[in-house]
Structure formats: structure tokens, C-alpha cells
Amino acid sequence: MVVRAGLCYNYPMRDKDRPNLNEKAYGFVMRLLSSGELKPGHKLSEPSLASACGVSRTPMREAVRRLVEEGVLYQIDKTGTFVAGFGVKEVRDAYEIRRAIESATLTRAVRHLSARHLAALKNDCDRMHAAIRLMRKCGMAIMTGRAEREFLESDLSFHMRLLKVSGNELAEKIIANAYRRNQFFGTHSHQRTLRHVALAWRFHCEILRCCRAKDAAGAVHWLSCHLERSEQDALLPIGRS
């Protein structure tokens, strides 16, 4: 709606505006999932979610469709849409995909990293470290809130930046999907203690060190160590349940 000289003009939504609303709806639901507000088994109400997000039902329906395709939600005919449960297989599948694709693309990315790319990767590591400092300052036993959001955002940025440099757009989409699954499952399985996040930060720093030295084999080694340890941490609480 545009207001001009006291008059209101309603214009239909332009096609180029709709993707922004789709992303807004998608991000809104993902935040609810990552925060644990929407737990496995929870039945979703698209109208309620759309209202809370401030969008119409169409963008929210598209967001739900995407999340069903990504395996985070599932639908039962004539019953509704639910938050997916998770177990050992789901966690292992996601990490298996990440190890295979990220290792292959990292080898290519190392050859093409510029000084600008390396500076951006360092900034991601610095943001992770800042989140850890905030965690310690607040006396958190488990990382939550703003510290957790900053940590996870910079973690994802680091990995996706390397994928982008590799030039494999399909790999970017697949890993973004797998990472979101890891992040969602991790909300309910990972215990992001100081030890856990500090070790994850160290792994990223080691990957960066190898990238600076153009040591692709070393970078892949530290990536493998990082993903293996993260998978172990995710599986441990499941094994206890």
C-alpha cells in the first residue's frame, strides 16, 4: 500500500517480493525449530505460524513444503504436518553427506582462496570466539541465546564460504540442507558445553591455518576431525535415551 496526498493505493504483490517473504517464513520456522520451541512430534498450524511471522499463508505454505522436502517436517494425509523425530540413522546420514561433499569441495576451494576469502574466514573464526567469550562471561553451562545464535551463524558461514569458493552450486544446496538438519537435531542432542564449542572453534582455526598454507590435505584432515567429533557429540545423548 502506498499513501500519497491522503489517498491509499493498494498494489498487488510483485513476483520479486514473494521470494523475500518465502525466506522470511522459512527463517521464522527454522528459528522455532532451532530454539527448541517446536519439538519432534509437534503438530504445526500454518495459519498460526503465518500470523506470528507476519506473512500470508502462501509464503508459510512454501516454507513448510521446503522443510518437508528437507526431512525436518513430515506430513500425514488428512491429519497434518509434524516436526520430524530423529535418531542415530538421521544424524549419521546427515554427517555422512557432509563429510563426503565438504571434503571433496574443500580440496578444490583451497587452490582458489584469495586474501579476501581468507580474511572473511578469519572473521568467521573470530565471531565464533567472541560467542565463546560471551558464553563464559554470562556463566553459561550450556551455550544458549545470542551466544549460540552467533556461534552457529559464524560456523555455517565458514563452511558455506568454502563451498562457494569451490564453485559447486549443487554442493552448496545439499550441504545447506544437511547443515540445517544437523543444526536442528543438534538442538535436541548436542550439549554445547564450553569444551564442545571451544574444540569446534579450534578445528575451524586449524582448517584456516591449512588453507593459508595451501595445504589441502591438512585442511581435509582437520575438517574430518571436526565432523567426526561433532557427530560423536550428537550421537552420545541419543545412545543414552
Residues 20 and 107 in one domain: no
Model confidence band, residue 121 (pLDDT cutoffs 50, 70, 90): very high
Domain CATH number, residue 74? 1.10.10.10
Residues 56 and 137 in one domain: no
Which has the closest alpha carbon to 84: 234, 187, 237?
Answer: 187
Instruction: Please name the residue that has the C-alpha cell 544458549.
Output: 144
Which of 83, 116, 150 is the C-terminal boundary of a domain? Answer: 83
Residues 34 and 144 in one domain: no
Please say if the pLDDT value at position 205 is more than 60: yes
Which has the closest alpha carbon to 190: 199, 181, 201, 182?
Answer: 182
Q: How far apart are CA 135 and CA 147, in angstroms?
A: 6
Residues 150 and 127 in one domain: yes
Residues 120 and 189 in one domain: yes
Contact 204, 91 (CB under 8 A): no
Which has the closest alpha carbon to 44: 91, 82, 98?
Answer: 82
Residues 28 and 69 in one domain: yes
Which of 83, 108, 128 is the C-terminal boundary of a domain? Answer: 83
Which of 26, 61, 83 is the C-terminal boundary of a domain? Answer: 83
* Domain count along the chain: 2
Contact 40, 83 (CB under 8 A): yes
pLDDT at 231: 87
| 151-198 pLDDT tens trace | 988 998 999 999 999 999 999 888 887 777 666 665 555 678 999 999
Domain CATH number, residue 182? 1.20.120.530
Range of the domain at 99: 88-240
Residues 113 and 204 in one domain: yes
Its pTM stands at 0.75
- 38 DSSP 8-state letter: S
